[in-house]
Homo-oligomer: A and B are copies of this chain.
Amino acid sequence: MKQYKKHDFPVHEVRRFLEPGPIVLISSAWQGKANIMAMGWYTVLEFSPSLIGCMITSANHSYEMIRKSKECVINIPTVDLMEQVIGIGNCSGEKTDKFAAFDLTARKATKVSAPIIKECYANFECRLADGHMLEKYNFFIFEVVKAHVAISPKYPQTMHYRGDGVFMLSGKNVSRRSKFTPEKL
């Protein structure tokens, strides 16, 4: 597994890593236990405050842990963690200590009690900002309160889930910056 050296990153710019749509790992903690789930149903909602909306099925063991603790960390894994991502998505935290089972390191976060997954490219510490959509849609609105991002590479190679057990891996990056009006960048 890769060892990323990370720096603090502006929370209002996390869209750079989330808008492309990678599978993320959500880590949470409640009553002394930590858990991890894999997730692809989320969206950026606002730059500042830095808001992210996530649909998490209540069937997930993580659902109540996040709802009760009102916190989580959104971690971005790169392709070297593919087998772990699949393993995490195919077992339940009710029966499995996923940090131990998948040989991942839980690091203390700075602003939330949920742990950071050290081996991931980026870690976004989140607090629940609005739970009004939980009852009807299982939709959490989080505010990113602290962001840690690897210093290099600039663009991580991420996994994007197509359903049916198929992942798309992120490909080449193309800049068209000169074609954009400044306020649209």
Residues on A close to B: CB < 8 A?
Answer: 13, 15-16, 19-22, 40-46, 51, 53-55, 82-83, 86-87, 89-90, 130, 133, 136-137, 139, 141, 155, 157, 160-181, 184-185
Contact = CB atoms under 8 A, between A and B. Distances in A.
Identify the 5 closest CB pairs spanning chains A and B, nearest first.
A21-B21, A171-B171, A165-B177, A20-B160, A43-B43
A152 B176 CA distance: 28
A165 B180 contact: yes
B173 A170 contact: no
A138 to B, nearest CB: 8
16 contacts: A16-B163, A41-B43, A42-B43, A43-B43, A43-B54, A44-B55, A45-B139, A133-B133, A162-B173, A163-B185, A164-B175, A166-B173, A166-B176, A167-B174, A168-B170, A169-B173
Given A43-B42, A90-B184, A20 B161 contact: yes
A78 to B, nearest CB: 13
A21 B39 CA distance: 13
